[in-house]
Amino acid sequence: MKLDFRGKTALILGGSSAIGLALTTLLLEEGLHVIPTHSSAQGRDAIKQFFPNLATASPRLDLSDKTNPAGMEKILETPVDYLVDLAQADHEVLLAAAGEADMDAYFQAHITHRLMLLKAVTRSMLTRRFGRLLHVSSAAAALPAPGQGLYGAAKRAAEGLYQSLGLELGARGITSLSLRLGLVDAGRGARFLDRDDKRQTLADKIVTVDQAAGTLLFLLCDQALALTCTTITMDAGLTAQKYA
């Protein structure tokens, strides 16, 4: 099946992540211009290692940065047709033990600052009457583990932002979608799998990086544009049954 892409430029928030790097490869193969963001020197180095030609133009994006929360100035130098949102900081703490300042900062970064960025990007999309917003969410938005209360709530709130933007801007050519991923073999998920032999016991419930990136590629293409204003789950059946 040949995938079609009406747009030309994709912005990947969290582009230095394993999924971001894999998706960048697929988008480049489709002939798109890709702008991967990074939030740290380590992330910039990861992009440089895989894509030397993209590293110098990779904007720094740290949603928690109060002085320039969205890094929008550099990001919006080039019109964006596709936005893939992989930006999310790990933050595990029991809600009863969470500090007020930490809670305020986390929600401001991942809800308020995220919306600021989305507003800026969609304004650019509106001038061309086309845009695709794709948010990478988590199964924790529906079924958080103890300690994932803030993370799950922020993901659920971000899903709401993306759904509402799709509803409000759909008539002007902008579509939106959230993809809830389950246990991905990368980053925090890989560290979890490496503990206590979980990689073996949960082998049939793991989502690979290639599977996630390939699915995101399809969800961006023209053939998938009817998937909008909704959230779909890709978790290898992890949340389909009740566990003891």
Q: Which helix (H) or strand (E) holds 209?
A: helix 209-220
Domain ranges of the chain: 9-234
Q: What is the DSSP letter of 112?
A: I
Tell me the per-residue pLDDT of 21-36, one tens digit each, with 9 for 90 and over.
999 999 999 999 999 9
* DSSP H/E element including 34: strand 33-36
Q: Which residues does 234 contact at the CB level (< 8 Å), separation at least 6?
A: 179, 180, 181, 182, 207, 211, 212, 215
Burial of 1 (0-12, 13-18, 19+ CB in 10 A): exposed
| Cα distance between residue 173 and residue 175, in whole Å | 7
pTM: 0.93
- Closest listed residue to residue 125, CA positions, set 14, 11, 37: 11
Look over the chain and give the mean of its residue pLDDT values, rounded to a whole number. 91
The residue ranges of the chain whose pLDDT is under 50 are 70, 244
What is the model's pLDDT at position 63?
A: 87
The fold of 9-234 is Rossmann fold (3.40.50)
3-state secondary structure of 90: coil
Say what the pLDDT of residue 2 is: 94
What contacts 154, CB < 8 A, 6 or more positions away?
88, 106, 107, 110, 111
Terminal Cα-to-Cα distance of the chain (whole angstroms): 41
pLDDT at residue 243, as a whole number: 58
Query: So what's the pLDDT on residue 244?
Result: 47
Residue 100 one-letter amino acid: E
